[in-house]
Amino acid sequence: MMHRAARIEDWLHFKRERAARKRGYLPTVIPYAGYGSTEWVRILCRVLLAKPTKATPALTRRHWRSDRRDGSIRGWRSFTSVPVNDVTVTIEINGFSHRVQADRGGVVDTVIAVSLTPGWHTAQLHTDDTAAPVEAPVFIVAPAVTRGILSDVDDTVMVTTLPRPLLAAWNTFVLDEHARVPTPGMAVLLDRLAAENEGSPMIYLSTGAWNVAPTLTRFLSRNLYPAGALLLTDWGPTHDRWFRSGQDHKRANLRRLALEFPDIRWILIGDDGQHDEAIYSEFQREFPGSVEAVAIRQLSPSEAVLAGRRMKDGPGEPRERWMYGPDGSALASQLAKQGLI
């Protein structure tokens, strides 16, 4: 039986959807970057009732290109759109058409069998009610690729002090997105890794909600982070609990990547302010052949206090190919000594 909180959420979505349709809002497909192999592709998008928007972010070979020129965007705006419940989305890619069902939050996360060449491709997405399809970029990994790059987002690529609830709410709902601060040196580090490992998948794994994906994409674009797939989650109740577990979301996607790409060894990048160390350690124990190296950004004393984390004397028991540093430059130096960049 569905959890009471989920039933309440569905009722609220129904009321908001009906009101939005009366105001003339139309189903809008928000595309996200996906990934795949030469035999399948993972398509990610979300369907919302919203006013028509201008161009969506596009991708070049290695970097995002954003056509959005908003001067001031508050985070709360990302959470005011109404998800369309159980809508059918048509996916067209490489001459084939597939129809899939979005979940109760309007999210599509599906795998399609299709033959594609390595590199960037584009899928066309639309619903029966949308006027024109939108483009979703997907990166296809060549069979010969043996290394991948996966990075956390909060306090790794940008400073958010997310673990502290009040600051998390401020950063998410109030703060102007242009005021978000990139972590020093991390864009250069990830760009060097992407350049050194051309053709490798680049994955951004976060406990953030899909609502903030457009904001996050623009942030990564402005700060010259390499293009890659975003793996976020859907906040709110599930069928059996009040809120989804961010840690379980990360664990599940790491396992999924290990099974989807059994020949790839991942460079895992995170921080010591949340649970990245524990999650990466568990993953390494479960899939030892899937980890190339782990790079952990150490929070400064002030960041650690804001994060509600008790300071440690050091990184703990030394582990092979585990690296610690306060910023991207320090981590890059250690990765270079290991011959990884």
Residue type, 36: G
Q: How many Å apart are CA 54 and CA 75, to the nearest integer?
A: 18
Question: pLDDT per residue over 311-334, tens digit each?
Answer: 454 455 557 899 999 999 999 999
pLDDT, tens digit, 9 for 90 and up, residues 157-200: 988 755 555 555 555 555 566 667 899 999 999 999 999 999 99
Same domain for 220 and 297?
yes
User: Is the model's pLDDT at 141 over the cut of 90?
Assistant: yes
List Cα–Cα distances, 94 to 5, 29, 131, 185, 244, in angstroms.
41, 19, 21, 38, 35
Residue at 340: amino acid letter: L
Task: Tell me which of 140, 155, 188 is where a domain ends.
Answer: 140
Give yes or no: residues 70 and 190 share one domain. no
Which residue do the tokens 């457009």 mark?
214
Output the CA torsion 105→6→233→321 (10° steps): -160
User: Could you tell me what percent of the chain has a pLDDT over 90?
Assistant: 53
- What are the phi and psi torsion angles at 275 (to 5°)? -125, 20
Give me the domain span that covers residue 25.
4-140
What phi and psi values does residue 15 have, to the nearest 5 degrees?
-65, -45
Residue 108's CB: how many other CB atoms inside 10 A?
A: 23
CATH number of the domain within which 306 lies:
3.40.50.1000
Question: Are 136 and 261 in a shared domain?
Answer: no
Dihedrals φ, ψ of 138, to 5°?
-135, 140
- Domain termination residue (choose one: 140, 161, 183): 140
Same domain? For 329 and 193 the reply is yes
97 and 154 inside one domain: no
Per-residue pLDDT reduced to its tens digit, 80-111: 668 887 789 999 999 999 999 998 888 999 99
**Are residues 77 and 13 located together in one domain of the fold?**
yes
What average pLDDT is seen over the chain?
81
**CA angle at 150 for the pair 147 and 155, rounded to the nearest 5°:** 150
Domain edge (last residue) among 140, 163, 180: 140
**158 and 289, same domain (yes or no):** yes
Q: Which residue has the higher pLDDT, 259 or 176?
A: 259
170, 121: one domain: no
Contact 66, 54 (CB under 8 A): no
Handedness of CA 300, 301, 307, 310 (dihedral sign): positive
Residues 189 and 290 in one domain: yes
Give yes or no: residues 156 and 108 share one domain: no
Contact 204, 215 (CB under 8 A): no
State how many domains the chain has: 2
Q: Which residues are CB-contacts of 238 (< 8 A; sequence separation ≥ 6)?
A: 3, 6, 244
Tell me if 10 sits within 8 A of 104, measured CB to CB: yes
The residues, ordered by sequence, that sit 6+ positions from 331 with a Cβ below 8 Å of its Cβ are 185, 189, 269, 295, 297, 323, 324, 325
Residues 65 and 136 placed together within one structural domain of the fold: yes
